[in-house]
Structure 1
């Protein structure tokens, strides 16, 4: 009798276990066939990062200063504080002339650039390079940038030099930049070193390269032109 009950109990347990397992498998199969929509929030699609390339000489490179004190770095800080999705690339090279810049532009533009800030010419003027050569080199750089990407917006940084080369050369040199800007429909920074040039308190011992405080002012001069561009893009989003 006890043996019969024991067998019956064991059989009942096995049947019950089988039913439980079958039920569980059916539920899993049903979940697989009818998956529920995930309750986790959807990941927002982030707009691809855009690039601003500063192409220039020692003024752009921030000669004599920490890299974080150069005016392109100051611009990046401003951009970040406003939440704009732009990455600044500092392609400044000390001693760069328009001729060497023209030779370097090919490999600098390997990446896509949305805004191109052209700051060259000062070393040409200080060396007395023929004005026609400076003008032609700058034009070739502009043409190359547009050939690589017609949608790239170009900002030209205006420059002035001391009167060492004579009043005629100095005056004609100054006019190169607004004339090229008008001819090519570019945005123009009238004078990159406005409120900095000629001020000993804002320049290093060489009297040419801005101090960290001077670079802050240069960044403000650039932002007067660059800022509205970025605001336009922000408003269009």
Structure 2
């Protein structure tokens, strides 16, 4: 054991000196490098100068604003093989072709009711939204939810958006129900959207499924959700109201 300790001692004894010598070398290298960096910095543009070079009017012009489509399965593109065929993506393609500088976000959830939308709104509003398209209510109607509840939820969503972001522009998308829900109920349901749009001074799409709803060849087998061609028409319905907003910016 003593012989092993002696041998280990011979191996370890020189190491502190070698480490100290190596540290001196590193310190000298760092000091030389710092001097070179200071010399280079005097020849290079400052951060503010670099920003002046890269920040051009063209870059500012192309800054992206946000359009958020907040809805149910119609917005989500239920039943489509690719959500790139849903109307929000169609709107994005149109906007890009016109170089209008907006990003369209698809925030559709299949099966969503106005109550469900109201409950997830807080998380959605954590992001900056310039134009908010509100497309909810169809599932309320199909489930026979009292219209007073649907109306209250939609109003609460509108109020929350305005409280969180007063400058956000809101578009309300109207919806209609199939006639088998009863004439009185369907008429009252339709009126909920028109009344809310008028009372809150909102941009309004009377029926987002105009020229699509009830037309078999433009709907999937369930007779409710648009096909790819149907979504193109839905996008045009939205664009009629959306276009003046994005062009006036």
In the superposition, relative to structure 1, how do residues 166 and 42 fare at CA in structure 2: closer, same or farther (>3 Å)? closer
- CA deviations 1:72-118 (Å, max 9, x no partner) are 00000000000011111100000000011100111011101000000
Which of 56, 65, 75 is residue 71 of structure 2 equivalent to?
A: 56
Give the structure-2-normalised TM-score: 0.77
2:119 paired residue number: 103
Does residue 154 of structure 1 match 2:166?
Answer: no
2:136 paired residue number: 120
**Aligned-residue offset at 1:165:** 2.3
- CA deviations 1:10-57 (Å, max 9, x no partner) are xxxxxxxxxxxxxxxxxxx9xx79x9x99x976414233210000000
Give the structure-1-normalised TM-score: 0.81
1:44 paired residue number: 56
Distance 2:184 2:194 in 1: 17
More divergent stretch after superposition (165-174 vs 149-158):
165-174
Q: What runs of 5+ residues in structure 2 fail to find an aligned partner? A: 1-38
Which of 211, 225, 233 is residue 241 of structure 2 equivalent to?
A: 225
Aligned length: 200
1:16 paired residue number: none
When the two chains are superposed, the root-mean-square deviation of aligned CA atoms in Å is 1.9
2:215 paired residue number: 199
Distance 1:42 1:103 in 2: 43
SS of residue matched to 1:94:
coil
Distance 1:93 1:42 in 2: 40
Q: What runs of 5+ residues in structure 1 fail to find an aligned partner? A: 1-28
Distance 1:137 1:149 in 2: 18
- CA deviations 1:175-207 (Å, max 9, x no partner) are 111110010010000100000000000000000
Which of the two has higher C-alpha Rg?
1
In the superposition, relative to structure 1, how do residues 104 and 201 fare at CA in structure 2: closer, same or farther (>3 Å)? same
SS of residue matched to 2:153:
helix
SS of residue matched to 2:96:
helix
In the superposition, relative to structure 1, how do residues 41 and 137 fare at CA in structure 2: closer, same or farther (>3 Å)? closer
2:84 paired residue number: 68
SS of residue matched to 1:73:
helix
Distance 1:42 1:166 in 2: 62
